[in-house]
């Protein structure tokens, strides 16, 4: 799970460590700000595959052949579907 305090580390140095591990096939980031999941996949060409999932979509973790809905993942959480930005901000 990504939190405000660890997101930079999870996307940066931590992911760099995991990319060096030959047995890791997927790296999954689950947002706690709004309902989104990012999956990075290792392919024969390297870490070249990226997929982002949002509300209404089904997540597929190919390395373990698991399918789950994003709604089920966030079902008991208070995480909003979308990030509410103040008027005029993106």
Confidence of residue 85 (pLDDT cuts 50, 70, 90): low
pLDDT average, residue stretch 34-51: 93
Distances (CA, A) of 65 to 1, 46, 58: 21, 20, 13
**pLDDT of 48:** 86
User: What pTM was computed for the model?
Assistant: 0.82
pLDDT average, residue stretch 31-42: 93
Question: For 54-79, what is each residue's pLDDT tens digit?
Answer: 999 999 999 999 999 999 999 999 99
pLDDT average, residue stretch 29-52: 92
pLDDT average, residue stretch 7-15: 86
């Amino acid at each position: 799970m990504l939190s405000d305090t660890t997101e930079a580390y999870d996307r940066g140095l931590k992911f760099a460590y995991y990319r060096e591990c030959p047995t890791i096939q997927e790296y999954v980031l689950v947002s706690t700000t709004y309902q989104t999941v990012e999956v990075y996949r290792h392919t024969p060409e390297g870490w070249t595959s990226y997929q982002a999932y949002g509300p209404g979509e089904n997540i597929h973790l190919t390395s373990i052949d698991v399918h789950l809905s994003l709604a089920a993942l966030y079902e008991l959480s208070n995480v909003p579907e979308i990030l509410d930005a103040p008027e005029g901000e993106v």
